[in-house]
Amino acid sequence: MLSKNEVKYIQSLCHKRQRNADEVFVAEGPKLVQELLLAKVDIVQIYGMKHWIEMQQTPSINVTEITETELEKISQLQTPNQVVLIARQQLPANEPEIKNQCILALDGIQDPGNLGTILRIADWFGIKQVVCSLDCVDFYNSKVVQSTMGSISRVACWYKNLHKWLAGIEVPVYGALLNGKNVYNVEKIKEGVLVIGNEAKGIRSDILPFITYPVTIPKNGGAESLNAAIATGIILSHLVRENSQ
């Protein structure tokens, strides 16, 4: 049985301010929770329904059994799914490694689903570092966490003044632009930064001077634009070396 204070606290974690104050995040559903358990994230507490707990081969002392009604109260999903996990945020201790690395830089990504999917795509291509502009959606937003499908445990994320950060690095900077070079004709890279812009406005004008290699995905059909996450996946599939993982 959850107390009213427990329910209230778990509900409060939908707010960035509370998550950051306690340096925790929330993940839900058997598949995502299992991914995070395998990744050995630092677990604060797990709230699971009886049948989910009984399915666990390695019981945890941090599990509280809850009813379906209690799950509905603490879940942030439209359709609650068996288990809610609270874990410690993985805050990167150092600056991003630049040399011999492929890094994503995100300029004003606002949609949580887009950011989560981009992190999952980065993980697929072996990219372990993402630098976000200060106005990007929160890395630990619950919709971001859900969209990563576990990749959040394998990709480090920094929030920085993108203008200042790009001014201080000395590696090639690629940018997804409409007037760039056909990405199908671009050689795969050993190191560099790929900048992906805002869903509606693209890359901001103050970032453009830092882009040394503008690239574009050639358009053959009638669609006006590509989703930011889809564009990221297409570009990375042509830029990233297979042995860069």
The rounded distance, in Å, linking the Cα atoms of 67 and 48 is 8
Answer for the pair 2, 74: CB distance below 8 angstroms, yes or no.
Answer: yes
> How far, in Å, CA of 177 to CA of 159, rounded?
22
Residue 244's pLDDT is what? Answer: 40
- The residue count for the chain: 245
> What's the pLDDT score for residue 243?
55
Which segments within 78-191 are labelled E, that is strand? 83-88, 102-106, 129-133, 156-160, 173-182
pLDDT confidence of residue 111 = 96
CA distances from 36 to 29, 40, 64, 164 (A): 11, 6, 17, 33
Which residues are CB-neighbours of 42 under 8 A, at least 6 positions away?
87, 88, 90
Residue pLDDT tens, the chain, 245 long: 899 999 999 999 999 999 999 999 999 999 999 999 999 899 999 999 999 999 987 667 789 999 999 999 999 999 999 999 999 999 888 999 999 999 999 999 999 999 999 999 999 999 999 999 999 999 999 999 999 999 999 999 999 999 999 999 999 999 999 899 999 999 999 999 999 999 889 999 999 999 999 999 998 898 888 899 999 999 999 999 775 44
State the Cα torsion 188-190-193-197 to the nearest 10°. Answer: 20
Pair 103, 236: CB distance under 8 Å:
no
pTM of the predicted protein model? 0.92
Reported in sequence order, the residue ranges of the chain that DSSP labels E, i.e. its strands, are: 24-28, 43-49, 63-66, 83-88, 102-106, 129-133, 156-160, 173-182, 192-196, 213-216
Best CA proximity match to 54, nearest among 69, 65, 42, 39 = 65
pLDDT (0 to 100) of residue 57: 76
Q: What is the CA radius of gyration of the chain?
A: 20
CA 137 to each of CA 51, 116, 155: distance values in angstroms, whole numbers, following the listed order: 34, 10, 16
C-alpha neighbours within 13 Å on the C-beta side of residue 64: 19
Separation of CA 233 from chain center: 14
- Domains delineated in the chain: 4-88 (3.30.1330.30), 102-244 (3.40.1280.10)
Q: Are 99 and 129 in contact (CB under 8 A)?
A: no
